[in-house]
Amino acid sequence: MVCGSMSGCLGALEAENESVECSTFSAGHKDDGKLRILTYDILALSDSMVEEFTNRTGYEIEFIKEDDAGGILDQMMLTKQAQQADLMIGLDNTYLQTAIDNCLLRETLYTQSDNYQNISEEAARPYSGALAVPFDQGPVCLNYDENFVDGENVSEPASLWNLTEETWRGKTAFPSPVTSSPGRSFMVATIDYFENDDDESTNAFDWWQAMASNEAIITSGWTEAYETHYTGGYGEYTTGYIGDAHLTVSYCQSPGVEAYYSSNYTHSTSLTLPKSTIQQVEYAGIINGAANIPGAELFIEYLLSPEINAQMPENNLMYPVLDGYGLPETDGYRYHSDIPQENANVEMTRINEEMTNWLDKWQSATE
Amino acid sequence: MTRTGQHNVLVKVLQWTTVCCFVTLTVLPLLYAIARLESVTGINSVVAVQNFFTTQSSLQALKFTLLEATISTIATVIIGLPIAWCLGRYNWKNIKLLRAILAVPFVTPSIVVAMGFLMLIDVGGPLTAMGIDLRLESGMVGELSNFTNWENPGHFIALITAHVWFNISLVMRFVEPTLSTMDRTWEEQMHFLPAGQNRLSRIRNLWLPIIGPAVLCAATLCFIFSFTSFALVRWLTPNQDTLETLMANSGGSAGIYGYRIDTSEVVLSTSIVQLIILSIAIICATSIQRRHSTIHAVIAESDAKQISSRPNNLAKMIIALGVCFAILPLMLVTIASFRIRNATTGEFTYSSEAWSEAWSGDYSTTAIPDALSNSLIYCLITVTFALPIGWIISSCINRLEQEQKATTAKIVEFATMIPLALSAVMIGLGILLGLLKWSPGLFGWAIIPAIPHIIITTPFVIRIILPALRSIDSSYHEQAIMLGMSPIKAWWHGKAAFLRAPLVVAGALTMAFSLGEFGASWILVRSGSWDTLSVLIDQLMSQPKFNPLIQPMAMAAATVLMLLTFILFFIAERFRDNGEGSGF
């Protein structure tokens, strides 16, 4: 007998029932006193910070690292019935709702503590429930090379449509929203930008299609776009640099970071057109299925303590979330970090509901 | 039943159990992955393949994969053949060292190769100094692009060059032994025959039949390795996808119910298309390799050994160029580990700062000693399993051949080559899903990433041990039994004693391949405590490099991995027979 499909043939092997109702999942590991943190590569929690936590609490830490926020969500979804970590650090406001809807997180007690009130209004805006706590933030926006946009031969774009002109043909690089978290945030920003512009006959995907026709470079991740293609950043000093794009997606504080690492020098700046920027907030949350819940609670508290959170600009190149803390002034970090005029505003629930549809449309537009 | 009869039955049971377990270990993850992806996407594999051919991005990736693999194969044969010819036809001092240097690229971890070639083509690198700018595509490469309207020709040329570098030893390994053991009098006699009067007719009537199968064999394997190339494509052609990179990009979110179904469909359809193409290539490789072994055996049995002449200047130049080509990218990696950008001036200075940083590590990057010990643990586990499994399966194939069961032997041989046709992403995903289904507790078990290493390296063990088993004279074993030795003693003195060298070669190469394995590790190794050297290099290279030390730290890790691989490979070379015709 010939089987129509492998899933039919292997029905007995593949009879997994995926429940959508929230219940407490069992842990995929034992509570052995270790705290397992699922995070992404660049979370630069320094040795001393982690050792200090271990000294204070007695919990040893093991990091399980993914490439980015998308990788964290993928891992939690795939290991839903046997979670491997206790705490996730790094899902942002474009991914968080999916994690919540899929019951991947459990409530943290931190939101009931007095310290929670220290979190700034801006950081608490996208989500203020008990399933996740913001720990850093930063506006995603377009960065451009001031050597190219010199104000004489090429002027600063006054609208995203300017980027579809001949001047910018083949000179822009965008991380794909399918595989990159800043790329995804920027695509969401474009949705809001074109929904609120004067022209009602076009939408974001018309713009993306026009950008694809204007030979925009699409990369799989932020690193490839910023480091390999962008001429305004540190990429020109790295191996593999191509330098064929004068504009890319990064953060509004990226020029500040460039200056911080290059003794107050940068020729990169941000394009802060209203609604073309979007606030990315990153969260920490206890995983549904965590074995070491007390340890996870303590780490969230530690992460949100002023001594640690204030170091986010140096360690994770993002803004702190606590009221009264910002970027350091050292070597032009704050001076070169641009402030958005008006961030795009798209509710997390809408992002979650429409993301699949948006990604499909984006892929069709840029193919 | 006699004692010998009982022993034979036991041996057969052991051999068939091992074959079945290995094939199951190879195929089951694949079936799991396919079943899960079909279930998640709601379409069967046939529909998925149909959809593949209607999706623009998938078709582009297929075209690019076929194009780069074909051109890489042709270029490798064109460049590798003169080197193999010169090595095989002339009498070289330090031939073992030359062979080792020229063959080292094949066992160099692909992630290190990628780093080496990035340094080679980088602005300020040796190639741009010669006016060949493959990365920024300025100068003559830019003109070529403008003239032909070919997008990114520099990146494509860099990829092909890296594939040639990586695969050149395949041509050498297959062709050189045939040439070096061939009786020179055949060539002289050919001159007197009507069919060998001119060079063209000698090529057609002498050289093609003799080295043709060897070249074809090398070419087929070169096609397979170029087709499945992952790290090189990822770093050298950033604007292009192959089937393997397409799957890796979608692999993370594949197989999840109700979430990113599109990625599951991409992985399902792409892996099946890849499986079909590579299965055909492997059937060809197995069949050609059998023919090559037969011809090589005939040539090697010839009593009248060839008398090689001293190399002429042209041969010396070709080998010197080959050696430079083999060494240059690796030297550049080492140099780059000491080259630090001054953040203020943008100029480069040389110091060991990156080595100190990489050696000590922190919580965001594993320290080199930790990654090194993880890599060594994985490769020791791999060799502990792959070597006996490969040996037992080789013995099974050899026994079937001796029992005149050629068809069964061919089927078993083909089945053991299946891992070469599988995507590391599919193996990784299948193991992950299988574990979640049957024993989620094992998911975080550090040993798990060794499973794909065992699956991937066992075919190489078989390629090395099987020809050696075939060449053992069975009368030694029979005589040992006649002398009254126990079955184990007879096996030891009549068979195992002759396999010492191939076993050392297989062991060292298995460890080298395991050390450099990247694709499956990339999918499965997620715990920071178990990062291997190859994963550490990729992690460092993927980090934002505002900090000027990050890239040299990656190069330092690559240098350590490279040195470790070299040591293992030189051990292997010391034990390799001079005229050995085995695949690797």
A189: which 2 tokens? 């920003």
pLDDT of residue A104 exceeding 50, the answer is yes
Do the domain assignments include residue A10?
Answer: no
- Confidence label for A139 from pLDDT (cuts 50, 70 and 90): very high
**Statement to judge: residues A301 and A315 lie in one domain:** yes
Helix (H) and strand (E) counts in chain B = 26, 2
- A243 shares its domain with A291: no
Q: Which residue in B251, B232, B254 sits closest to B242, CA to CA?
A: B232
My answer on whether A266 and A241 are in the same domain is yes
| Chain A contact set for B531 (CB, 8 A) | 65
Residues 51-70 of B with CB under 8 A from A: 56-57
In a domain, B77, yes or no: yes
Specify whether A186 is located in the same domain as A128.
no
Cβ burial, residue A2 (10 Å; 0-12/13-18/19+): exposed
Query: Per-residue pLDDT tens for B506-561?
Result: 888 888 878 876 655 555 545 445 678 888 887 788 777 888 888 899 999 989 98
Looking at residue A338, its pLDDT comes to 94
* Alpha-carbon gap, residue B58 to B88, rounded angstroms: 43
pLDDT tens per residue, range B142-189: 888 888 888 888 999 999 999 999 899 888 878 887 777 777 777 777
Inter-chain touch B343–A262, beta carbons under 8 Å: yes
Cβ–Cβ gap A29/B235 under 8 Å: no
- φ/ψ of B406, rounded to 5, equals -65, -40
Question: Are A265 and B336 an interchain contact pair (Cβ–Cβ within 8 Å)?
Answer: no
Nearest to B344 among A238, A243, A263 (CB): A263
- The mean per-residue pLDDT over the stretch A257-270 comes to 93
The model carries a pTM of 0.81
Residue B265: inside a domain? no
Query: Would residue A1 count as lying in a domain?
Result: no
User: Domain for residue A35, yes or no?
Assistant: yes
Please report whether residue B560 resides in a domain: no
Contact assignment for A45 to B364 by CB distance below 8 Å: yes
pLDDT score, position A109: 94
Contact B528 A63 (CB under 8 A): yes
CATH code where residue A46 lies: 3.40.190.10
Beta strands A133-145 and A277-287: pairing type? antiparallel
Q: Print the domain residue range for B123.
A: 64-253+291-333
Does residue B402 belong to any structural domain of this protein?
no
Structure-token pair, residue A278? 């979007």
- Do A208 and A365 touch, CB atoms closer than 8 A? yes
More confident residue, B528 or B140: B140
Q: Tell me whether residue B131 is in a domain.
A: yes
* Domain assignment present for B544: no
**Proportion of chain A above pLDDT 90, given as a percent:** 68
Q: Do both A146 and A233 map to the same domain?
A: yes
Convert the pLDDT of each residue in B429-449 to its tens digit: 777 767 666 666 666 677 777
Q: Which comes out higher in pLDDT, residue B554 or B124? A: B554
A190 and A339 housed in the same domain? yes
Which residues in chain A are contacts of B46 at CB distance < 8 A?
5
* Average pLDDT score, chain B: 82
Identify whether A2 is part of a domain: no
Total domains in chain B come to 1
Among chain B residues, the shortest Cα distance to A216 is held by B239
Q: Is residue B140 part of a domain?
A: yes
Residue A22 lies in a domain: no
Report CA-CA distances (Å) from B351 to A294, B131, B328, B562: 45, 29, 21, 20
Q: What is the mean pLDDT of residues B301-306?
A: 53
Hey, is the C-beta of B309 within 8 angstroms of any chain A C-beta? no
Same domain, A173 and A312: no
Lowest mean pLDDT among A93-97, B126-130, B155-159, B553-557: B126-130
Flag whether residue B135 sits within 8 Å of chain A, measured between CB atoms: yes
A105 has which bridge partners?
A287
> Per-residue pLDDT tens for B4-40?
677 778 889 999 999 999 999 888 888 888 888 898 8
Are residues B163 and B68 in contact, defined by beta-carbon separation less than 8 angstroms?
A: yes
**Residues 253 through 282 of chain B touching chain A, CB cutoff 8 Å:** 253, 255-262
Provide the number of structural domains found in chain A.
2
Q: Tell me which residue in A16, A217, A240 faces B437 most closely, judged by beta carbons.
A: A16
- Checking if the pLDDT of B194 tops 80, the result is no
Of B89 and A288, the structure prediction assigns the larger pLDDT to A288
Beta pairing partners, A38: A64, A88
On average, the pLDDT of chain A sits at 89
CA distance B443 to A88: 18
Q: Name which of A239, A244, A331 to mutate to probe chain B: the one with the most chain B Cβ atoms within 10 A of its Cβ.
A: A239
Specify the 3-state DSSP secondary structure of B442.
helix
Q: Do B239 and A18 touch (CB under 8 A)?
A: no
Residue A23 counted as domain residue: no
DSSP string, A259-326: HHHTTS---EEEE--TTSEEEEEEEEEEETT-S-HHHHHHHHHHHTSHHHHTTHHHHTSSEE-BTT--
- pLDDT, position B444: 65
Question: Are residue A217 and residue A346 in the same domain, yes or no?
Answer: yes
Among B32, B239, B543, the residue with its CB nearest the CB of A13 is B32
Asked whether residue B164 is assigned to any structural domain, the reply reads: yes
Residue A162 structural domain:
139-278+330-366
Confidence at residue B534, expressed as pLDDT on a 0 to 100 scale: 83
Residues A293 and A310 in one domain: yes
Looking at per-residue confidence, does B158 or B210 come out higher? Answer: B158
Q: Is residue A14 part of a domain?
A: no
For residue B339, list its beta bridge partners: B350
The whole-number pLDDT of residue B521 equals: 55
For B482-512, the pLDDT digits (tens) are 888 887 888 788 777 788 878 888 888 888 8
- Mark whether A60 and A97 lie in a shared domain: yes
pLDDT band at A1; cut points 50, 70, 90: very low
Q: What CATH number corresponds to the domain at position B84?
A: 1.10.3720.10
From the CA of A87, how many Å to the nearest CA of chain B?
14
Which of B57, B122, B238 is the closest to A219 by Cβ? B238
pLDDT digit string, tens, across residues B221-279: 899 889 988 888 988 988 888 998 888 777 777 888 888 788 889 889 998 999 899 88
Q: What integer pLDDT is reported at residue A19 of this predicted model?
A: 40
Residues A215 and A108 occupy one common structural domain = no
Alpha-carbon gap, residue B57 to B66, rounded angstroms: 14
Residue A227 lies in a domain: yes
Rounded to two decimals, the ipTM of the complex is 0.75
Residues A85 and A152 in one domain: no
Whether the pLDDT of residue A14 is over 60: the answer is no
